[in-house]
A and B are shown apart, each in its own frame.
Chain A
Amino acid sequence: MTEPKDPSEDTLSVLYSKRKSEHRAPTTIKRKVLKAQLTENTHTAIFNRISYVAVAASTLLLVGVILLRQEQLNMPELTYQTVEIHSLKPSNELSSASIRNRYAQNYKTYLEHQKAFAQHHQKHATLTVTGKFWELKTCDDEIMQISEELIVALNKIQRIDSKLSSGDIVQIAFDQSGMILGIQGSSVHLNC
C-alpha cells in the first residue's frame, strides 16, 4: 500500500491560484459598479453646486446686511427746525387752511406748555431781516417769523428797537401766554 502523497503548501497555493483564474468576476459587476460611480458623481456634482449657490447667496446676504447696517450707522443725525409764525393777521388769511389749523393747534399747545414756564421770560436770538418779515433764530434752532404788522404794532407802542438790523442779537420778551411783547437789542453774545 502506498503512502498518501502530502501536497505541500506551494501546491495548495498553485491550485488555489488556478482555481481563482478559472473563476473571474463577471463583467456585469464592474459595469454596474462604474455606473453607480457615475451616478454618485452626478449627485455629488449637484450637491456641490447647490452648496456653492447656498454659500454664495448667504455671503451676498451677509454683505448686504453689513452694508445696510453701515449705511444706517453713517446716516447724518436728523435735525429739524421749529418754525413759529407770529402775526397779527387773522388766521383765516393764511394761504392754506390745513396748515393754518395745524399751526394754530400747535401754537395753542405750545402756549399751554409755556404756562408752566416763567411768566416773564426772555429769549435771545439772532435777527435776520428778509423782506417784509423778521426772522429770529434762537440757539434751540427755533425760528420765529415776525410779520410786518406785528413789527409795526410793536413799533407803535415803542416795544421794538428801531435801530436793529440783520445779524443783530436781540432780546425777545414774552408774556405768560407766549405772545411777543417786545424785541430789543442785546449785548449778549450768543454761543450756539
Chain B
Amino acid sequence: MSFALTLKTFIAGRHSNETVMLRYAESGDKALLTRLYTACGDDLYHFVLTLSDPTLAQDISQKTWLKVIEKKHLFRDSGKFKAWLFTLARNQLVDELRQHKNHSGDIDTLIDNKKTLDTCMSRADIGSRFDQALLSLPFEQREAFCLQQEGFSLSDIAKITHCGTETIKSRLRYGKQTLSKQLATDLEISHD
C-alpha cells in the first residue's frame, strides 16, 4: 500500500507541470512545451478572457507563452508553474490595460464596454446569467474569484495579484456575495 502510494507520488511528481517545466527549461523540447500548453493553455486563456475581451485575451495569452519560451530559465523549482504562468499573464494584462487607460480613460470603462456587449447575450440559461453576473463584478473581485476557481490558494492569489491575503479574502467574499445575489435574483425572476 505504502509502496503503491510512493510509486503514485513518484509518477505524479514526474509528470507534474513543475517537473515538465524544469525539463523544458533544460532541454527546450517542443513536446514538453506542448504538454504544458495542453495542461494550462485553456485555463490561462479563459482567465484572461474573463478579465478582458477575446482579442486582448488571445494577444495576452500568446505573449505570455512566448514569455515562457523566452524566460524559461527564470522558472524556479520552488514555485508552481501555473502560478508563475498566471502571474506573467496578469502582469502583461495590467500593463496592457494601463496603456488602454492612458488612451481611452478608465480600466472600468473599458471593461464596462465589454459588459454592454455581453448584455446582448441570451438570458435563456443559467450559464449566460452566470456570465453576466461574473462580468458585472469589479475587476479585482472577478480576478480573485477566477484565480480561486483555478485552484489557487489565498496566498497564491495574493502573490499573483500583489495584494495582502486579507484583501483577497475580502474581494472573494464580496465577489461571491454579488454573484450569489445576482444569480438568485435571476433565478427568482425566471421562476416568476
CB-defined contacts of B176 to chain A, threshold 8 Å: 9, 12
* B-side contacts of A33, CB under 8 Å: 33, 37, 62, 65-66, 69
Kindly state whether residue A23 has any CB partner on chain B within 8 Å: yes
User: Smallest CB-CB separation from A41: which chain B residue?
Assistant: B28
The answer to the question of A6 belonging to the interface, with a C-beta cut-off of 8 Å to chain B, is yes
Docked complex Cα distance between A26 and B131 (Å): 19
Instruction: Please tell me if the beta carbons of A4 and B181 are within 8 angstroms of each other in the complex.
Output: yes
In chain A, residues 4-43, which have Cβ atoms closer than 8 Å to a Cβ of chain B? 4-7, 9, 11-13, 15-20, 22-26, 28-30, 32-34, 36-38, 40-41
Inter-subunit contact B127/A18 (CB<8 Å): yes
**Cα separation A34 to B62 with both chains bound (whole Å):** 10
* B126 in contact with A15 (CB, 8 Å): yes
Q: Which of B167-181 contact A (CB under 8 A)?
A: 176, 179-181
Contact B43 A20 (CB under 8 A): yes
Indicate whether B61 reaches chain A with its CB closer than 8 angstroms: yes
B161 within 8 A of A: no
Please tell me which one of the listed residues B30, B42, B62 contacts residue A20 in the complex, with CB atoms under 8 A apart. Answer: B42
Q: Complex Cα distance A34/B180, Å?
A: 40
Residue of A nearest to B70 (CB): A40
A27 to B90, CA, bound (A): 21
Nearest-neighbor residue (CB-CB) of A12 within chain B = B179
- Beyond A37-B30, A37-B33, is A30–B183 a contact (Cβ under 8 Å)? no
* A22–B134 CA distance with the chains assembled, in angstroms: 15
Instruction: Determine whether the beta carbon of A6 is less than 8 Å from that of B46.
Output: no
Check if B149 is an interface residue, CB within 8 A of chain A: yes
Say yes or no for A91: interface residue by CB 8 A criterion. Answer: no
**Chain A neighbourhood of B66, CB < 8 A:** 33, 36
The verdict on A2 contacting chain B, using a C-beta distance below 8 Å, is: yes
Contact A2 B191 (CB under 8 A): yes
The answer, yes or no, to whether A44 is at the interface (CB within 8 Å) is: yes
Whether B69 lies near A24 (C-beta < 8 A) is no
Q: Can you name the residue of chain B whose Cβ is closest to the Cβ of A17?
A: B149
Among residues of A, the one whose C-beta sits closest to the C-beta of B66 is A36
Shortest CB-to-CB span from B8 to chain A, Å, is 25
- Minimum C-beta distance from A41 to chain B (A): 6
Q: B69 — which chain A residues lie within 8 A by C-beta?
A: 33, 36-37, 40
Q: Which of A4, A16, A26, A29 contacts B65 (CB 8 A)?
A: A29
Interface residues of B in 2-55 (CB under 8 A from A): 28, 30, 33-34, 37, 41-46, 49
In the bound complex, how far is the Cα of B62 from the Cα of A26, in angstroms? Answer: 10
Is there an interface contact between A6 and B184, defined as CB atoms closer than 8 Å?
yes
Given contacts A36-B69, A40-B28, contact A25 B179 (CB under 8 A): no
A5 — which chain B residues lie within 8 A by C-beta?
A: 183-184, 187-188
B185 close to chain A: CB less than 8 A: yes
Residues from chain B with a CB closer than 8 A to the CB of A15 are 126-127, 130, 183
- Show 8 residue pairs from A and B whose CB-CB distance is below 8 angstroms, ordered by the A residue: A2-B188, A4-B187, A16-B146, A19-B46, A33-B65, A34-B37, A36-B65, A36-B69
